[in-house]
Amino acid sequence: MNPVYNPFAPGAGTPPPELAGRTRLREQLMLALERARIGRPAKSAMLVGLRGVGKTVLLDRIREEAENIGIYTVRIEAPEGRSLPALLAPEIRLALLRLSQVEAARDYAVRGLRALAGFVSKLRIVFKDIEVGLDYEPELGLADNGDLEHDLQALLEQLGIAAKAAKSAVVILIDELQYVAQPQLAALITAMHRIEQRALPVVLVGAGLPQLRGHMGNAKSYAERLFDFPEIGPLCPNAARQAIIKPLEKENVEITDEAVQKILDVSHNYAYYLQQWGSHTWSAASTSPIVLSDVERASLTAIAALDEGFFRVRFDRLTPREKKYLRAMAALGPGPHRSGDIATYFSSEVSSWAPTRSSLIKKGMVWSPNHGDTAFTVPMFDEFMKRIMPGDDWLD
């Protein structure tokens, strides 16, 4: 099989050749944007799910579809160590500059840019990582209180007013939202609450690990009423099949039912893993149709690629104690596991491992589906931990 024509795309946020199984959710989100544009109530949404389920791909597809129908977009990723104001300010500036090109919205957009100038000048004292060009002088008293919760609310209001004047809407798309510090998350929730109260056409679509729902509820108790929280999980069997079969059909390549089923079995229907196995199966096959033995050979290289890339990059961020904790979880199975059961593996008290568990949650390696439970945020990470830390030496 010619590697040049390999249709699969196993990358971080790389659009797959076939975005299967997400049509209904995309339609719901686009409906919310269309409603916002005409001034109807539109609920914002937080996409929650494990690593590798396709949240980033969904955000980018929503951005593309929104831009295609004339809705303005603000797209950021919230990595660890960066402040939300620093990430938002440059992208809001770009949106306001674009809105200023619409005659009916020009004055409102310029006032929004003045609000941004006040926002940056006052908050730069606290958030020293803010770096953004300013196009206008600030307007006294507009988003320049120096308090993030107050000023972000004022800034997003001006953005919404400009979008309304342009007879459009703005969708703010934020990936990895679980890394945003709680006070900053609270400010964002408050701002969106005000946007909803004023019926302004600004919609927030965030994405994050499963703990995001709890983070938002802790930040503001009304968050669970303000947002929808659709769970993004593995694809249903039919959608997973389409994710493999359709790209191959476009290349005039066939695959047997047994081979498809094997890919689904080893990938557990997770979007990223489907792309990995699809890509390596293409490389392993010599002719069409692709058969079961091709998938079996491909599994060796697919697992090796995951180990050295997707899994290893997360493993290398861990302390020795964190690695031991995850290895004990892996020994117990895929999970979730009771914290007490994990501690018992070391003949220790739960409290002695609490700081380690907390650190792993902050790093996005585990989450708590229920009080006292701990689960991996990366599917199949338990299998990787057994491969990279075999035997019992890690218990020493």
Q: Is the domain of 144 the same as that of 288?
A: no
CATH number for the domain that contains residue 61: 3.40.50.300
CATH number for the domain that contains residue 389: 1.10.10.10
Looking up tokens 């079996």 gives 296
Q: Which two tokens stand for residue 102?
A: 């619409």
Q: Is the domain of 215 the same as that of 241?
A: no
CATH number for the domain that contains residue 256: 1.10.8.60
Give the model's pLDDT for residue 269: 95
Give the model's pLDDT for residue 13: 67
Asked whether residue 1 is assigned to any structural domain, the reply reads no
Q: Which two tokens stand for residue 220?
A: 């503001």
With beta carbons less than 8 A apart as the criterion, state whether 66 and 34 touch.
no
Looking up tokens 């409603």 gives 35
Closest to 79 measured CA to CA, from 190, 220, 181, 214? 181
Asked whether residue 16 is assigned to any structural domain, the reply reads no
Give the model's pLDDT for residue 197: 94
Q: Is the domain of 251 the same as that of 201?
A: no
Sheet holding 366-367, edge to edge: 337-338, 373-376, 366-367
Asked whether residue 13 is assigned to any structural domain, the reply reads no
Closest to 244 measured CA to CA, from 228, 267, 221, 225? 267
Q: Considering 202, 228, 254, which residue would you say is the last residue of a domain?
A: 228
Q: Considering 279, 314, 349, which residue would you say is the last residue of a domain?
A: 314
Q: Is the domain of 135 the same as that of 239?
A: no
Asked whether residue 249 is assigned to any structural domain, the reply reads yes
Q: Is the domain of 204 the same as that of 74?
A: yes
Q: Is the domain of 96 the same as that of 214?
A: yes
With beta carbons less than 8 A apart as the criterion, state whether 100 and 110 touch.
yes
Give the model's pLDDT for residue 30: 96
What are the C-alpha distances in Å from 121 to residues 85, 108, 223? 12, 20, 29
Q: Is the domain of 239 the same as that of 322?
A: no
Q: Is the domain of 214 the same as that of 295?
A: no
Asked whether residue 5 is assigned to any structural domain, the reply reads no
Give the model's pLDDT for residue 45: 97
Q: Considering 177, 199, 228, which residue would you say is the last residue of a domain?
A: 228
Asked whether residue 166 is assigned to any structural domain, the reply reads yes
Q: Is the domain of 85 the same as that of 222?
A: yes
CA 200 to chain centre: 25
With beta carbons less than 8 A apart as the criterion, state whether 48 and 146 touch.
no
Question: What is the model's pTM?
Answer: 0.91
- The residue segments making up the domain with residue 328 are 317-395
Asked whether residue 67 is assigned to any structural domain, the reply reads yes
Q: Is the domain of 289 the same as that of 327?
A: no
Q: Is the domain of 108 the same as that of 179?
A: yes
Number of compact structural domains in the chain: 3
Q: Which residues of the chain have pLDDT under 50?
A: none
Three-state SS across the chain?
Answer: CCHHHCCCCCCCCCCCCCCCCCHHHHHHHHHHHHHHHCCCCCCEEEEECCCCCCHHHHHHHHHHHHHHCCCEEEEEECCCCCCHHHHHHHHHHHHHHHHCCCHHHHHHHHHHHHHHHHHHHHHCCCCCCCCCCCCCCCCCCCCCCCCHHHHHHHHHHHHHHHHHHCCCCEEEEEECHHHCCHHHHHHHHHHHHHHHHCCCCEEEEEEECCCHHHHHHHHCCCHHHHEECCECCCCCHHHHHHHHHHHHHHCCCCECHHHHHHHHHHHCCCHHHHHHHHHHHHHHCCCCCECHHHHHHHHHHHHHHHHHHHHHHHHCCCCHHHHHHHHHHHHHCCCCEEHHHHHHHCCCCHHHHHHHHHHHHHCCCEECCCCCEEEECCCCHHHHHHHHCCCCHHHC
Cis omega (within 30 of 0) on the bond before 336?
Answer: yes
Asked whether residue 65 is assigned to any structural domain, the reply reads yes
Q: Is the domain of 66 the same as that of 205?
A: yes
